[in-house]
Chain A
Amino acid sequence: MIEKMKKNRFLFEELVKRDFKKKYKRTILGMFWSVLSPLFMLLVMAVVFTQFFGRSTPHYIVYMFAGNLIYSYFKEATNGGMSSLVSNSAIFTKVNVPKYLFLLSKNVSSLINFGLTLVVFFIFVAADGLPFRWTFFLLLYPICCLVVFNIGVGLILSALYMVFRDIQYLYDIFTLALMYFSAIFYTIDSYALQFQYLFYTNPIYVYIRYFRKIVIDNDIPEPSFHLLCAFYALLVLIIGAVIYKKYNYKFLYYV
């Protein structure tokens, strides 16, 4: 078992290196593009929406940034993850390697991008005059959940994409809809209470909410809220793992 992990580690490192190099070849700014893109999005949203929601929402820029931060990471990681099987099909039909490694290696580069954006986020937090508290360390919890969640969604999507290539377009529409349902630039207070609860069926909103509670509201979420975070992450991970287990030797028919 340990032997196997060690073997796979070398392959994993080489795959991560490859994905990184391929992603940023011939770009001068390299990985900073990935940090700039959520910042541009934030800028656009700030220009457009501050008029509408900015006055009633305290720390509106940080509020939006928290939403963008989580949403962008989710979108980038799952979009990248979706193609991980298809783009490596030349490899897994010729060499016997664990297929999930391709997905994990893609996820590493989006996680690093997320980390960089997170640093920028904290700069914004400081600039907005919000104090840094020890509770900020609790943010590691939703981040871990999100990493697992993204891997799970990536497993499901990459398997689907192997079979149906039009998932790509459907997923674009899905993520766009998800953005509007995740309360990134508005608050859910204006909805009736029963509708407000509906937002908790959206895992991305749940993770965003955790961030806002800690950073803006200085409030530690309840234990049940923590359970909800973990529940979504584990649910998709288990579904994804089952699909991979079941189709492990069938993917190659679809190449």
Chain B
Amino acid sequence: MVIEVKDVSVRYILGDFKDIGLKEYVLRKIKRQYHVKEFLAVNGVNFSLEKGDMLGIVGSNGAGKSTLLKVITGIMVPTKGIVKVEGTIAALLELASGFDGDLTVRENTYLRGAMLGYTREYMNRMYDEIIDFAELSEFQDRPFKQLSSGMKSRLAFSIASLVNPDILILDEVLSVGDGAFRKKSEKKMLEIIHGGATTILVSHSLDQVREMCNKVLWLDKGRQVAFGPCEEICDRYEEFLAKK
């Protein structure tokens, strides 16, 4: 068992506390108008993955997909339940964010590598390969903000995927770059999976999920609708979408 998610719920808070100043906060507290809404973004989710599994997570917007990924990567802690993860995780959540526009491509590559938990020696060894894969050799010393958004995503994908993590998490990322790069990245993904890594993919493209995943988790408004083999769940989900 590489990833085990047992009865996991995550409470999210929303409401007045954001973007209000100190004065507003004190006033509302006094007037008892300070409201914080709590809701379960993820509610009682159960599943487990073995080595080499590729899980697709499907569901409409706001189903709790990204929150669930944040729990698995350890950015958030579950309010209830346990998440057990074995091995190193490389997560690509909302790809191009977290890069620094003022730094060069080279510096950003190292910074991102460091964030993903790789060592400097490892990055030294992998650097050329990463840049080659992202097709950014001529841009190495350009400021990052001068890149096109497709190039940015390509770089992010290359860094996370070329370093052979035990667990790779992809949130809406396989739609990056032009057609040629997409083919290349899908090929790379399959290579990683066949290399024994466990992968989680969030995608709105059912075709992509069908093509690549062997298991599917279907979430709706935080609740787990189904978890199981790919074809079966995908068919049910498609039916559900058609009925809507």
Of A14, A95, A166, most buried by chain B (CB within 10 Å of CB) is: A95
Cα distance A4–B238 when bound, in Å? Answer: 44
Write the nearest CB–CB distance from B112 to chain A, whole angstroms. Answer: 8
Cα distance A14–B100 when bound, in Å? Answer: 12
Cα distance A164–B107 when bound, in Å? Answer: 32
Contacting A166 at CB < 8 Å: which of B23, B77, B93, B117?
A: B23
Q: Are B107 and A95 in contact (CB under 8 A)?
A: no
Cα distance A166–B110 when bound, in Å? Answer: 34
A167 lies within 8 A of chain B by Cβ: yes
Write the nearest CB–CB distance from A21 to chain B, whole angstroms. Answer: 6
A213 lies within 8 A of chain B by Cβ: no
Q: Are A18 and B120 in contact (CB under 8 A)?
A: no
Choose, from A5-13, A43-51, A150-158, the stretch at the interface: A5-13
Are A97 and B115 CB-contacts (below 8 A) given A91-B98, A253-B13? Answer: yes
A55 lies within 8 A of chain B by Cβ: no
B30 lies within 8 A of chain A by Cβ: no
Size bracket, chain A contacts: 20 to 34
The 0/1 profile, CB within 8 Å of B marked 1, for residues 150-187 of chain A is 00000000000001111100100000000000000000
Q: Could you say which residues of chain A place their CB within 8 Å of the CB of B23?
A: 166
Q: At the interface, is chain A mostly helix, strand, loop or mixed? A: helix
Q: Are A254 and B17 in contact (CB under 8 A)?
A: yes
Q: Are A252 and B111 in contact (CB under 8 A)?
A: no
Q: Which residue of A lies closest to B114 (CB)?
A: A11
Q: Could you say which residues of chain A place their CB within 8 Å of the CB of B13?
A: 253
B102 lies within 8 A of chain A by Cβ: yes
Q: Are A18 and B94 in contact (CB under 8 A)?
A: no
Q: Are A18 and B76 in contact (CB under 8 A)?
A: no
Are A96 and B22 CB-contacts (below 8 A) given A18-B111, A21-B103, A90-B97? Answer: no
Chain A positions within 8 Å of B, measured between CB atoms, are: 6-7, 10-11, 13-15, 17-18, 21-22, 25, 90-97, 163-167, 170, 249, 252-254
